[in-house]
Amino acid sequence: MNTSTNIRKIFFVLLFFIAASCSSRNKLESENSAEYGGRDYVDSLVAKVEPKWFKTTKAFSLRNLEGQAKPHFFFDVNPKVNKKTRSMNVVITNVEGSGEVYNLDLTSGQFIYDRKLCKDKDFWEKYKKSITTPPFSIGVVPRYLDQLGSAQKVIVFGEKTYLEKYHKTHFFDVKVIGGYVEKECRYGSCVDLNQWSSRLVLIAIRKGSKELKDVNNLNELMKVVDWPYVKAFLENGQGKNKIASKNYGAYKVSHLVSASRAVDFFMKNSTFFSYKKMISLQKSCYHLYQHYWKVLSQSKDKKSYRKNFYSLFHKNHLEFKTCSKYVYPFSINSDFKRYWDFNFIIAYYKLHELGYSYRCGSEAWIKNLRMPDGKLMYPVEKELYACSSKEIKAGMKKALHMFKSLYQRDISTYRFVEYDKKTHGKVYSLVFQPNKYSSCEKEQKDFFPRDIKL
pLDDT tens, residue by residue, 256-285? 999 999 999 999 999 999 999 999 999 999
Q: At 6, is the pLDDT very low, low, confident or very high (cuts 50, 70, 90)?
A: low
CB-based contact 226:135 (threshold 8 Å): yes
pLDDT exceeds cutoff 60 at 25: no
Q: Provide the strand spans (E) within 261-328.
A: 271-272
Burial state string for 295-318 with b = 16 or more CB within 10 A and e = fewer than 16: bbeeeeeeeebbebbbebbeebbb
- For residue 70, give Cα distances in angstroms to 50, 78, 278, 316: 8, 16, 17, 29
Least confident of 17-21, 30-34, 142-146, 390-394: 17-21
pLDDT exceeds cutoff 50 at 73: yes
Q: Quote the pLDDT of residue 426.
A: 87
Q: Quote the pLDDT of residue 23.
A: 40
Per-chain mean pLDDT for the chain:
88
pLDDT exceeds cutoff 70 at 427: yes
- Which residues share a beta bridge with 145? 151, 271
Mean pLDDT in residue range 425-450? 86
Q: Quote the pLDDT of residue 2.
A: 54
Q: Quote the pLDDT of residue 441.
A: 72
Least confident of 35-39, 58-62, 286-290: 35-39
Q: At 197, is the pLDDT very low, low, confident or very high (cuts 50, 70, 90)?
A: very high
Find, among 21, 25, 48, the residue nearest to 37 by Cα: 48
pLDDT exceeds cutoff 60 at 35: no
Q: Provide the strand spans (E) within 223-264.
A: 241-243, 246-248, 251-258
What percentage of the chain reaches a pLDDT higher than 70?
89
Mean pLDDT in residue range 320-347? 93
CB-based contact 196:251 (threshold 8 Å): no
CB-based contact 76:116 (threshold 8 Å): no
Q: At 36, is the pLDDT very low, low, confident or very high (cuts 50, 70, 90)?
A: very low
What pTM value is reported for the model?
0.89
